[in-house]
Amino acid sequence: MKLNSLNPKTGLATILLMAAGLSGFAQSKNFKEVFTVPANKAYIEPFNPNDRGVSVPVGYPEDKGIVSRWSDKTKSVVWYLYQKPGQYDFYFDNTVENGKNLTFELIITPTAPVNGFKSIRKKLTFNGTGQQNSLFAGNIAVPETGYFRYELKPVTDPQSAIKIKTLTFKSLQDGGQVNQTDYQSSPSVHLSFSATQPTTKSYNWIYQEIMVPKGSDPLATYYMSLGFYRGYMGIQTNSTTERRVLFSVWDSKDAEKDKTITAHDYVSFVDKDKSTTVNTFGGEGTGGQSYVKTANWKSNEPVKFLMNVLKQDNNSVVLSAWYKLEGEDWKYVATWRAPKEQRMFDGFYSFLENFGYTNGQVRREAYYYNAWAMEDQTGKWVNMNKVRFSNTDGKPGQRVDYEQGVSAKYPDMFYMASGGYTPTLKTADEMPVSRQQLDLNLKPFEERVSIALKNEEINNKDFKKKSN
């Protein structure tokens, strides 16, 4: 976006205004189309879930989503808007308490580089009349389609005196478009792992490592590593002080939706480490959940994951999980019994998602690498060196800001990224088979599964009492 594609009707006056540091704009007429953006399609920056400083209600109906109670001068309200090329007159539809005049700085930048573009900064004064007003903020020239960031930053104390209902863009040309995205989270991206080597595709052990770059670990991010037919495990950023390792296994049927479910369809608890919390879960299917609240994994350091499936005589399997942090020993998470199942692993998948907060404008990223699966019949480790991409959304004008593929920085690692309102990027979906075999002594892990099975009866009784 830039402001040097001039409306011929504004002529020299507009040139002089722009040369003067954008001190004002000549208003334009003959509008082709009007685009309205609900004010609640915004982000609070800097983001802190416990100290918002301004109310930006999320959800519908949108006409009630008014930005209000702006009490913190250090908080900006930011909109990320999808726009097509053209010229637009831009307005804030607002109400300010009578007698109060509030000054803000408007900062407009593209989220991806635009040749020769420098960010636009302009002071705006909202005059208080107690009535709804439409403040003209400027004539905006957009040179190419993309996401653009509109930040409204307080200069004076907002005093909780302003309410913003909508942002209005009036297009001077045919073919214009301005819209917000449907949600303020971020796309979920997935990699499904497989091997290019000949393999039986019947595995009893699966293994992978994840490394999250520093600064790519915002709150409410799930970096899932080992996903399989009945569950998954990975790491999460749960708060400013808590980072979990999570391992979940689904029931045979969804207890919240399927009325035919019986006691034989439920996952049952077998055993866990003393640092692990176990409970049931719902919302995305139902099942058993186990997590370590004190994992405290660190960015820029690898986290290793290992999972085992073991067939049982009573038409079930037991599933066990471990993780390892840099400089520490392997730690056992838990074991669950999945009923009506005799399947081995045939591969696995990974994903990266925002699981809760409206901070989807922040980039999330992680490397997924050193992926292996052991054939249950041969005991051979097979390198999972190929992936298949998938993602949520991806519609034009909506969330397309995700990346997947082989990392340019680390060519022996796959990576995924999401958020930031940047263009989609997909790289290679395959890398050479690793020359170095995975060297892992499985005996201690097998012994821990045997112990878990010995503890199962009493543990399961206690878990049922707690759940009821």
CA distance 305 to 245: 10
Pairing status of strand 243-250 against strand 231-237: antiparallel
Report the chain's mean pLDDT, rounded to a whole number: 90
CA distance 59 to 358: 11
Residue at which a domain ends, from 124, 159, 180: 180
| Together in a domain, 126 and 268 | no
| Together in a domain, 112 and 241 | no
Nearest to 90 by CA among 12, 218, 176, 201: 176
Three-class DSSP category at 459 = helix
Inside any domain, residue 4 = no
What is the dihedral angle through the alpha carbons of 67, 73, 74, 75, rounded to the nearest 10 degrees? 0
When pLDDT is cut at 50, 70 and 90, the band that residue 358 belongs to is: confident
Residue at which a domain ends, from 163, 180, 197: 180
State the DSSP H helix or E strand holding residue 183, giving kind and residue range, or none if neither.
none
Q: What confidence tens digit (pLDDT) does each residue in 227-244 have?
A: 999 999 999 999 989 999
| Together in a domain, 100 and 176 | yes
Inside any domain, residue 5 = no
Residues 6+ apart with CB under 8 A from 394: 187, 400, 402, 424
| Together in a domain, 106 and 239 | no
Burial class (CB in 10 A: 0-12, 13-18, 19+), 85: middle
| Together in a domain, 403 and 257 | yes
Inside any domain, residue 2 = no
| Together in a domain, 250 and 131 | no
Inside any domain, residue 1 = no
CA distance 100 to 131: 12
Residue at which a domain ends, from 140, 155, 180: 180
- Give yes or no for a contact between 181 and 399, defined as CB atoms under 8 angstroms apart: yes
Q: What confidence tens digit (pLDDT) does each residue in 38-83 have?
A: 999 999 999 888 888 999 987 655 557 899 999 999 999 999 999 9
Burial class (CB in 10 A: 0-12, 13-18, 19+), 38: buried
| Together in a domain, 102 and 229 | no
Burial class (CB in 10 A: 0-12, 13-18, 19+), 412: middle
| Together in a domain, 204 and 143 | no
Domain with 130 in it:
11-180
Q: What confidence tens digit (pLDDT) does each residue in 125-160 have?
A: 999 999 999 999 999 999 998 999 999 999 999 999
Stated pTM of the model? 0.89
